[in-house]
């Protein structure tokens, strides 16, 4: 008779559509993806009968593979779900990016899944019950061990998502929901181990407990560990961090993103008085990059990959001049032709005179002289749509000040990125550059007082005047700590993804000139 057993929990999170070990922008090999993670999952499954495999959200969106599937092969099975089914996942939790392609795609993914999708706090408005079914699962093993897995999702989704993508959904507070269901599960189900899988992260440093971000409630992992009794393991994600450890005797994991790591938790039990008791808990991150890809997984979805690659290499237009990026920091300090081009497309699309956009990450390389879809999607990586809102001059000034806080002056007088935009997660996408107005960012001034010479049509921007501005739907909802945009009147919108809109602009105009008008600058 067994007196000791170990339950292994394997977690993936924020895989963002990555199966193949490839960077779609360059087609270079990358040490990531579910193909590699699969090798780890299969290895531990073969070693132990007591394994739980859980995806913690943001799986069905994020690469040209998933974009191409939605746009051109949506009637077929979802390739991400085909892989999770093949790997016999026990459950998946809904992430915020699950809604980016619209609710029908998410519902289709759930219907195709051979495992349940959990999110106790995403509710059907009409019934008040979890929209996607069960809030938690119980798994009993042959040894009699009973494990409970509760799923919750950051309730901040309405601040980012296109409202048309989340109709009839209520997003209840993730912390309060977790607290309620943990109590319920402990009292009604009496499991031997209770796991909370939370698509959200930590608002405080896991070791010191000090706040690491504004407590907006987007991330509530630290509170869950310190204020909810009864959680044995907290699986997290959303922030793309690499975390393994313990907070208040709660074992925590966060396995990075893009399938670079698999989170592994080992819970050891001993039997006494007729039931299993936890005697040891350990967590670690397993690098998927050191594994060979699982050929079965790659073959399973190879047809999707092949058609995606063919689509990506189609030439769609030309650049006259230089629209490539050599230095991403310089491209944010001195107006760059790529940023001006995106802003011009946004203004053209909705017929608006003022626009803002960001350079989303430091791997954006700009556009070469012959432009393909690969170039478009490697520079504009999110499936954003456009929204025009009416804001006041004060809203505009406040938003510009938020962006201006991106820069700091280093010890040697050099310009550096404010750590608030890079730690614990890179957030370069929260620094916006504007077109249609004139302004100067003076980073010698204190944060909050850096915007100088703010003008529209040659006249100072009036704080009480109204201005129409086009931006992506994430920003228009206040995402990225831009509360001054939240709940402002929407004047126009488009449901065409920006990548498609940029491609359409090339198809219409054929050749685009790389140019800037120097309507803004950064000085110190």
pLDDT digits (tens, 9 = 90+) for 431-441: 999 999 999 99
- Reply yes or no on whether the pLDDT at 1 is more than 80: no
Q: Are 374 and 24 in contact (CB under 8 A)?
A: yes
- For the record, the structure tokens of 506 come out as 């090339």
Segment 159-185 mean pLDDT: 94
Q: How far is CA 310 from the centre of its chain?
A: 26
CA distance 259 to 287: 9
In 3D, which of 180, 174, 166 has the Cα closest to residue 217?
A: 174
Pairing state of beta strands 459-460 and 4-12?
A: unpaired
Angstrom distance (rounded) from CA 18 to CA 392: 41
- Residue 181 reports pLDDT greater than 60: yes
Q: Give residue-wise pLDDT tens across range 245-297.
A: 999 999 999 999 999 999 999 999 999 988 999 999 999 999 999 999 999 99
Looking at residue 271, its pLDDT comes to 94
What is residue 213's DSSP assignment?
S
Neighbour tally for 419: CB within 10 Å: 9
Tell me the pairing of strands 146-153 and 117-118.
unpaired
Across residues 149-168, what is the average pLDDT? 92
Average pLDDT over residues 91-98: 96
CA dihedral of residues 126, 129, 133, 138 (deg, nearest 10):
180
210 pLDDT tier (thresholds 50, 70, 90)? very high
Any idea what DSSP says for residue 499? H
Determine the average pLDDT of the residues in 170-190.
98
Position 4 scores a pLDDT of 94
pLDDT in tens, 480-523: 999 999 999 999 888 788 998 999 899 899 999 999 999 999 99
108 phi, psi to nearest 5 deg: -60, -40
- What rounded mean pLDDT belongs to the chain? 96
What pLDDT was estimated at residue 25? Answer: 84
Longest dimension (CA), the chain: 84
Q: How far apart are CA 47 and CA 281, in angstroms?
A: 18
Q: What is the reported pTM? A: 0.86
């Amino acid at each position: 008779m067994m007196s000791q057993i170990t339950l292994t929990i394997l977690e993936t999170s924020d895989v963002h559509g990555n199966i193949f070990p490839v960077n779609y922008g360059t087609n270079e090999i990358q040490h990531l993806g579910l193909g590699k993670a699969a090798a780890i999952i299969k290895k531990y499954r073969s070693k132990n009968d007591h394994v739980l495999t859980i995806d913690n959200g943001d799986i069905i969106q994020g690469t040209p593979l998933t974009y191409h599937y939605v746009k051109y092969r949506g009637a077929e099975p979802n390739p991400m779900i085909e892989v999770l089914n093949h790997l016999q996942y026990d459950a998946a939790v809904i992430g915020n990016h699950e809604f980016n392609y619209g609710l029908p795609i998410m519902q289709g993914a759930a219907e195709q899944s051979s495992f349940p999708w959990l999110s106790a706090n995403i509710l059907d408005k009409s019934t008040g019950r979890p929209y996607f079914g069960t809030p938690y699962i119980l798994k009993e093993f042959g040894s009699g061990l009973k494990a409970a897995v509760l799923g919750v999702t950051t309730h901040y989704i309405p601040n980012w998502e296109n409202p048309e993508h989340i109709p009839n959904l209520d997003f209840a507070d993730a912390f309060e929901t977790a607290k309620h269901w943990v109590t319920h599960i402990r009292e009604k189900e009496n499991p031997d181990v209770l796991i909370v899988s939370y698509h959200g992260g930590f608002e405080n440093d896991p070791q010191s407990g000090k706040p690491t971000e504004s407590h907006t409630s987007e991330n509530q992992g630290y509170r869950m560990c310190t204020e909810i009794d009864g959680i044995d393991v907290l699986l997290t994600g959303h922030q793309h961090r690499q975390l393994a450890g313990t907070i208040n005797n709660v074992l925590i994991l966060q396995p990075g993103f893009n399938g670079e790591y698999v989170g592994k938790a080992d819970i050891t039990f001993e039997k006494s008085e007729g039931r299993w008791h936890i005697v040891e808990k350990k967590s670690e991150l397993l690098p998927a990059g050191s594994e060979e890809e699982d050929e079965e997984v790659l073959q399973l979805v190879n047809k999707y990959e092949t058609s995606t690659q063919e689509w990506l290499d189609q030439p769609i237009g030309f650049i006259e001049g230089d629209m490539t990026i050599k230095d991403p920091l310089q491209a944010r300090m001195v107006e760059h032709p790529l940023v001006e081009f995106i802003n011009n497309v946004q203004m053209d699309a909705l017929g608006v005179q003022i626009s803002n956009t960001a350079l989303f990450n430091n791997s954006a390389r700009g556009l070469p002289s012959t432009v393909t879809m690969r170039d478009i999607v490697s520079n504009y990586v999110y499936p954003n749509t456009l929204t025009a809102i009416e804001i006041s001059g004060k809203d505009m000034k406040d938003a510009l000040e938020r962006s201006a806080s991106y820069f700091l002056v280093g010890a040697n007088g050099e310009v550096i990125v404010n750590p608030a935009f890079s730690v614990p997660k890179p957030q370069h996408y929260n620094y916006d550059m504007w077109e249609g107005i004139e302004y100067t960012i003076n980073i010698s001034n204190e944060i909050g007082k850096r915007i100088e010479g703010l003008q529209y049509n040659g006249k100072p921007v009036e704080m009480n005047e109204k201005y129409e501005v086009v931006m992506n739907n994430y920003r228009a909802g206040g995402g990225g700590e831009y509360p001054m945009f939240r709940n402002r009147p929407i004047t126009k919108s488009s449901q065409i993804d920006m990548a498609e809109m940029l491609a359409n602009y090339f198809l219409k105009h054929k050749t685009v000139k790389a140019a800037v008008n120097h309507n803004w600058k950064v000085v110190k």
